[in-house]
Structure 1
Amino acid sequence: MSEQQDWEEQDSSEFIELGEYFVPERQVQMDVVTSLIPEPQNPAEFLDLCCGQGRLSEALLKAFPQATVVGLDLSRTMLDTARRELSAYESRFRTEQFDLAGKDWRTRDEAPAAVVSSLAIHHLDGDGKRELFRDVFAMLRPGGVLVIADLIQPVGERGVALARRMWNEAVKAQSLVGTGGTEPYEKFHALEWSCYEYPDDLDKPSPLFDQLGWLRDAGFSEVDLYWMKAGHAVYGGVKPGE
């Protein structure tokens, strides 16, 4: 079974509606991701793995006028929304339906200058993450970067408790700022969104230190953690240049 098949179109609709409240400091995370991508010296292609409604893709398109972005996702709802919301970028943005765990999309006609992903890699188990990192390293152009914004697994119960509490606090605060009430926060719990509070088979976050090691093993240099809050982290590395 695909690593993503337990994700349903209703999940996509709920995330499109509520993602602004459910993701801690979503704009900050996108700003961090875009800041870690070198300015291309010529036209370049970026891949956004599991692009969702296209928020990170749009941030890339705004930050890098020479770049085109390919948004990949399994969900038809997500892809339709991304195409509609980013239609003003015309040929600079296109979509592909894919399975993150599949292999067919990992061979590209053009080597991407950057591969990014937000809240998707944690759907792969440890072996799947290691394989993905190796395959992304192989497809990137020299000097290209992989930047991931995702959930990580704390290694002890104290870390899990802290991530759970901080995620709850972030969602409640963002709900109050965005709506003046707690309805999005209540939906966060009704939908059992937090894997630290409601573990399920869909979410398979791995410890951060393991993932940094897998990135180094794949060949990446400058492997680092760039930002972290409430169990959400931005990390990645660079493919050395020729």
Structure 2
Amino acid sequence: MGVVDVFDAVAGTYDEARRRLVPCFDSFYGTAVQVAAPPLRAALAAGRTPEVLDLGAGTGLLSLLLAATVPGVRLTLVDAAPAMLARAADQLRARSVPHRTVRADLVDPLPPGRYDAVVSALAIHHLDDDGKRALYRRAAGALVPGGVFVNAEQVAGPNPALDRRYDEVWTARITELGSPPEEIAAARERMRHDRPSSVADQCRWLTEVGLADVDCFFKEWRFAVFGGHAR
């Protein structure tokens, strides 16, 4: 199965497992929202509708959190998995959040427009390093001046020994949180498609594409939130 089929197959249960499979769920997603929110609030204060582009949006989890934190945003969700996008659209419609969905791969051109925030959660690690760098360049170019790019991501360790330790800690934590063996096995099957990169490399790539104030705002083992602002 390809990566799209793998994620479409779990669209109905994906959100339910997040708090087990992302042990630092609240801090991880909460930090992403905290970093993304200021330019959105600034747009509202200026009388504009804040525009958000969510890359690899999946079931819309990050978009829903942003819409709840900054009411009045308009969302564009991009994902290649139709069942995941349909789940996201259902949840956003139920909350009357203005949005559009775009079925596209992360290597495709971004939807036209300029955005106050370009965000992503647990998606870009499916690209190889060249693909990540190219996407970061497109994302930076899609931001309004002062807009923010935020990636809440699964990352690689800076060396193989630490990467193995990341996996040991993750396995222990999700087991403690009640992930049954079949859920862990399914997660590992999806992880066969992963190509994570280190935080240091990705922050450097964001600087190279012209973003300012690039930083890692949160990190707990393999989960990190990093990004920067358009100048």
| TM-score, reference length from structure 2 | 0.88
8 Å contact 1:112–1:140 — kept in the other structure?
A: yes
Matched, 1:189 2:167: no
8 Å contact 1:24–1:229 — kept in the other structure?
A: no
1:239–1:129: structure 2 CA closer, same or farther, 3 Å change rule?
same
Counterpart position of 1:146: 149
1:99 maps to a residue whose letter is D
Alignment of 1:42-121 (within 5 A): 42-90=48-96, 92-103=98-109, 106-108=110-112, 110-121=113-124
Q: Encode CA deviations 1:47-93: one digit per residue, 9 max, x unaligned.
A: 11111112111111111123111122111111111111221343512
* CA distance in 1: counterparts of 2:3 and 2:107, whole angstroms: 8
Counterpart position of 2:140: 137
1:187–1:112: structure 2 CA closer, same or farther, 3 Å change rule?
same
Equivalent residue pairs, number: 223
* CA distance in 1: counterparts of 2:158 and 2:50, whole angstroms: 38
**CA displacement at 1:174 relative to structure 2:** 2.4
8 Å contact 2:7–2:84 — kept in the other structure?
A: no
Counterpart position of 1:36: 35
**CA displacement at 1:35 relative to structure 2:** 0.6
1:91–1:65: structure 2 CA closer, same or farther, 3 Å change rule?
closer
Q: Which runs of 5+ in 2 are unaligned?
A: none
Counterpart position of 1:220: 211
* CA distance in 2: counterparts of 1:217 and 1:78, whole angstroms: 32
**CA displacement at 1:188 relative to structure 2:** 3.6
Q: Encode CA deviations 1:1-45: one digit per residue, 9 max, x unaligned.
A: xx9556452144453442231122222212101111212333111
Q: Which runs of 5+ in 1 are unaligned?
A: 176-183
1:224 maps to a residue whose letter is D
Q: Encode CA deviations 1:152-195: one digit per residue, 9 max, x unaligned.
A: 111223211221122112212322xxxxxxxx241243225288
Once superposed, what is the RMSD of the aligned Cα atoms?
2.1
1:49 maps to a residue whose letter is L
SS in 1 for 2:114: coil
SS in 2 for 1:144: strand
SS in 1 for 2:197: coil
* Bigger Cα displacement from structure 2, 208-217 vs 37-46: 37-46
Q: Percent identity?
A: 29
1:205 maps to a residue whose letter is P
1:127 maps to a residue whose letter is D
| TM-score, reference length from structure 1 | 0.84
